[in-house]
């Protein structure tokens, strides 16, 4: 994936220091974060997320079927 989506998503969830775990599941990124309030939902939607679901420090970003690729791109940046 030769685009900057992974980097932009990483920034929109508070950067590498805010991430405890990122797990892809077919259509979504499940992110366990130190601080869920750092998530910039508007930016995630601007990047192309279909939706963002938040439950405290766990945030699910619905990115579509490329979730696996995006998650591994983000992991490369950590």
Partner 1 sequence: MSVKVLSPVKGVLAPITEVPDPVFAQAMVGPGLAVHPELTAGDAVSPVDGTIVTLHPHAFVVATADGAGVLVHLGIDTVKLKGEGFTLHVAKGDTVRAGQPVIGWDPKAIEDGGRSPICPIVALDATVENLVDIREFGPVEAGDALFTWQR
* Sites of contact with partner 1 (CB under 8 A): 23, 25-28, 30, 50-51, 53, 60, 62, 64-65, 68
Min. distance of Cβ 62 from partner 1 in angstroms? 5
Comparing CA positions, the residue from 23, 8, 26, 25 lying closest to residue 77 is 8
Of 15 and 56, which has the nearer Cβ to partner 1?
A: 56
Of 2 and 26, which has the nearer Cβ to partner 1?
A: 26
Of 2 and 65, which has the nearer Cβ to partner 1?
A: 65
Paired tokens of 16: 């590498």
DSSP 8-state symbol, 39 = -
Active-site annotation holds for 31: no
Q: Please identify every residue annotated as catalytic.
A: 25
């Amino acid at each position: 994936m030769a685009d900057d989506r992974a980097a932009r998503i990483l920034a929109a969830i508070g950067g590498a220091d805010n991430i405890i775990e990122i797990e892809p599941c077919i259509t979504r990124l499940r992110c366990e974060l130190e601080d869920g309030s750092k998530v910039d939902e508007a930016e995630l939607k601007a990047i192309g997320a279909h939706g963002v679901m938040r439950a405290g420090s766990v945030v699910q970003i619905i990115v579509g079927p490329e979730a696996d690729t995006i998650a591994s791109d983000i992991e490369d940046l950590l």
